[in-house]
């Protein structure tokens, strides 16, 4: 047996890694010497598929990650709840049913299903929930409801958005909050024609609008300002002088759902003249009303499985899903559906997988908060751990293909960009990597990072 063969193989592997490291060093120095990076901070870490170190630049430095933070939340929720986990929304009633007349209240309750009424999933769209609900009501023989429609939105705590979110993000569709009962991903669409508001795709009960939009330019440069439970909404900025759709964050999704159910009942010939409210709305008024009853359940409506949600969470970077997952983790593991408890669990989870807790200073589950500080090395460690899990294929499937042809999660905020993912080079070498830059002043921030990452191609 030729004993020198394994030594030669090891030597060639080591030489190859050194060669790649040298190229990464040159590319990194080139990036940092450019004018837009004059005051930038960079964290870069590259390993092979086995976790062997290849190159780093400030690999332990915690920086604001933006949406590459989603890799931590996605992996933790898949491992903790299982890829087949489903949320449940129920319809139930109080009172008595007599000759088709429900003398009592109709309740809708959920454990936070973020997909209820979403347009993304075949057989789970708003019309599917409508059909199941009306079918369940009719199957019970109910033709008249002499009571109110109450949305029990109390499964999670009362705080709807993480404390560190910027005000100018919260009212836009990507800044939607989390309720116990969510609807249409807590998003609404405004049909605009220049600066004129033509219509909304759903009802926003009690909301009054201030329209300060100006026309100009060729792209959507508008901002929507709303806040949970607010009855005042502002749209400002500039829009092109043509028909365009602008999306915002619903300030009270349970009431919008209630408004749609009211229409469904009327369309279906079910008599009802009661009021629409939620347990939270009554709490704001200083009133206490009962939660949804555990008996008299007429419908249990299951969500798509968790792996399908994680796909869209990663592929379209849906912040709302990430924050719902955080509250779900808090409720499942600590019996408290709050951001603080969920984030605490997320930190414990990754610490237990060997990541130094100083490198994972999470502030939310999506990366939208600028108070998140995570290092590139921590991101690589999480990706390496995830690669060994039985749900990895479903996790990896959500990674988008970026502009340089590499399949990786991206993160974007003002003057911040990050990428994290897996790549097989043209000569078959497999890499796991993360790169984060803060305070980069140029407009071509993605291209600047591609020049570094393209070394791995």
In percent, the amount of the chain with pLDDT more than 70 equals 96
C-beta of residue 172 within 8 angstroms of C-beta of residue 320: no
* Helical segments of 82-232, H only: 126-139, 167-170
Smallest Cα–Cα separation from 269: which of 144, 141, 82? 144
d(CA 407, CA 416): 19
pLDDT, mean of residues 182-199? 97
As a whole number of angstroms, the distance between CA 226 and CA 254 comes to 16
Question: Which of these ranges, 7-11, 40-44, 307-311, has the smallest mean pLDDT?
Answer: 7-11
Cα 350 from Cα 391, distance rounded (Å): 17
The residues spanned by each domain of the chain are 20-84+306-455, 88-302
pLDDT at 2 over 80: no
The label of the residue with tokens 């599917």 reads 128
> CB neighbours (10 Å) of residue 429?
16
- pLDDT of 140-171, one tens digit each? 999 999 999 999 999 999 999 999 999 999 99
**In the prediction, which pLDDT does 18 show?**
75
Distance CA 23, CA 5 (A): 27
Query: Is the pLDDT score of 183 beyond 60?
Result: yes
User: Residues for the chain: how many in total?
Assistant: 457
Inter-residue contact 324 to 182 (CB < 8 Å) = yes
**pLDDT exceeds 70 at position 1:** no
């996790």: which residue's tokens?
395
**Smallest Cα–Cα separation from 246: which of 312, 199, 186, 182?**
199
Residues 119-138, mean pLDDT to the nearest whole number: 97
* Cβ-Cβ contacts under 8 Å for 29 (sequence gap 6 or more): none
| Contact assessment for residue 117 and residue 183, using Cβ atoms and an 8 Å cutoff | yes
CATH topology of domain 20-84+306-455: Beta-lactamase (3.40.710)
Orientation angle between helical segments 70-81 and 339-352, nearest 10 degrees: 80
Mean pLDDT of the chain: 95
Name the pairing type of β-strands 232-239 and 208-211.
Answer: parallel
Average pLDDT over residues 183-200: 97
Whole-number pLDDT of residue 7? 54
Assess whether pLDDT exceeds 70 at residue 4.
no
φ/ψ of 159, rounded to 5, equals -75, 125
The full 3-state SS of 60-111, as one line of letters, equals: CCCECCHHHHHHHHHHHHHHHHCCCCCCEEEEEECCEEECCEEECCEEEEEC
State pLDDT tens for residues 52-64.
999 999 999 999 9
Q: What is the pLDDT of residues 247-290, one digit of tens each?
A: 999 999 999 999 999 999 999 999 999 999 999 999 999 999 99
For 426, residues 6+ apart whose C-beta sits below 8 A from its C-beta are 457
Name the pLDDT band for 11 (thresholds 50, 70, 90).
low
Q: What is the CA radius of gyration of the chain?
A: 25
Question: Is 5's pLDDT higher than 90?
Answer: no
Grade residue 233 by pLDDT with cuts at 50, 70 and 90: very high
Predicted confidence (pLDDT) per residue in 308-329, tens digit: 999 999 999 999 999 999 999 9
Three-state SS at 57:
strand
pTM: 0.94
Lowest mean pLDDT among 13-22, 38-47, 55-64, 190-199: 13-22
Answer yes or no: is pLDDT of 455 > 50: yes
User: How much of the chain exceeds pLDDT 90, in percent?
Assistant: 95
What pLDDT sits at residue 17? Answer: 62
- Read off φ and ψ for residue 289, nearest 5 degrees: -125, 155
Q: What are phi and psi of 202, to 5 degrees?
A: -140, 165
Residue 329: per-residue pLDDT: 98
């Amino acid at each position: 047996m030729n004993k020198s063969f394994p030594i030669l193989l090891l030597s060639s592997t080591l030489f190859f890694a050194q060669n790649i490291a040298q190229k990464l060093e040159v590319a990194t120095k080139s990036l940092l010497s450019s004018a837009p990076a004059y005051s930038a901070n960079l964290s870069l870490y590259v390993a092979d598929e086995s976790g062997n170190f290849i190159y780093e630049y400030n690999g332990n430095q915690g920086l604001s990650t933006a949406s590459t933070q989603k890799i931590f939340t996605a992996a933790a929720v898949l491992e903790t709840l299982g890829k087949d986990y489903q949320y449940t929304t129920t319809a139930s009633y109080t009172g008595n049913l007599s000759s088709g007349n429900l003398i009592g209240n109709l309740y809708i309750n959920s454990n936070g299903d973020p997909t209820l009424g979403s347009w993304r999933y075949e057989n789970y769209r708003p019309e599917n929930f409508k059909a199941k609900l009306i079918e369940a009501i009719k199957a019970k023989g109910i033709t008249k409801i002499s009571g109110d429609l109450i949305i029990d939105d109390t499964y999670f705590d009362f705080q709807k958005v993480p404390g560190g979110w910027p005000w100018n993000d919260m009212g836009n569709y990507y800044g939607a909050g989390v309720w116990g009962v969510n609807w249409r991903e807590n998003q609404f669409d405004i049909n605009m024609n220049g600066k004129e508001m033509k219509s909304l795709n759903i009802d926003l009960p009690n909301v009054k609008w201030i329209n300060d939009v100006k026309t100009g330019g060729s792209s959507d440069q508008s901002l929507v300002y709303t806040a949970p439970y607010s009855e005042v909404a502002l749209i400002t900025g500039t829009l092109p002088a043509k028909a365009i759709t602008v999306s915002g964050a619903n300030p009270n999704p349970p009431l919008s759902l209630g408004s749609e159910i009211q229409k469904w009942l009327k369309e279906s010939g079910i008599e009802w003249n009661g009021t629409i409210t939620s347990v939270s709305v009554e709490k704001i008024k200083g009133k206490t009303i009962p939660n949804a009853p555990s008996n008299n359940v007429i419908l249990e409506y299951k969500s798509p499985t968790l792996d399908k949600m994680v796909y869209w969470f990663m592929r379209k970077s849906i912040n709302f899903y990430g924050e719902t997952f955080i509250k779900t983790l808090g409720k499942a593991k600590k019996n408290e559906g709050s951001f603080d408890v969920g984030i605490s669990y997320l930190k414990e989870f990754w610490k237990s997988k060997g990541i130094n807790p100083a490198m994972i200073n999470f502030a939310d589950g999506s990366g939208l908060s600028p108070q998140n500080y995570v290092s590139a090395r921590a991101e690589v460690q999480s990706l390496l751990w995830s690669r060994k899990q039985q749900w990895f294929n479903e996790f990896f499937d959500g990674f988008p293909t970026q502009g340089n042809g590499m399949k990786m999660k991206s993160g974007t905020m003002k003057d911040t960009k990050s990428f994290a993912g897996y790549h097989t080079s043209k000569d078959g070498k497999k890499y796991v990597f993360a790169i984060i830059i803060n305070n980069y002043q140029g407009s071509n921030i993605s291209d600047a990072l591609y020049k570094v990452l393209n070394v791995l191609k």
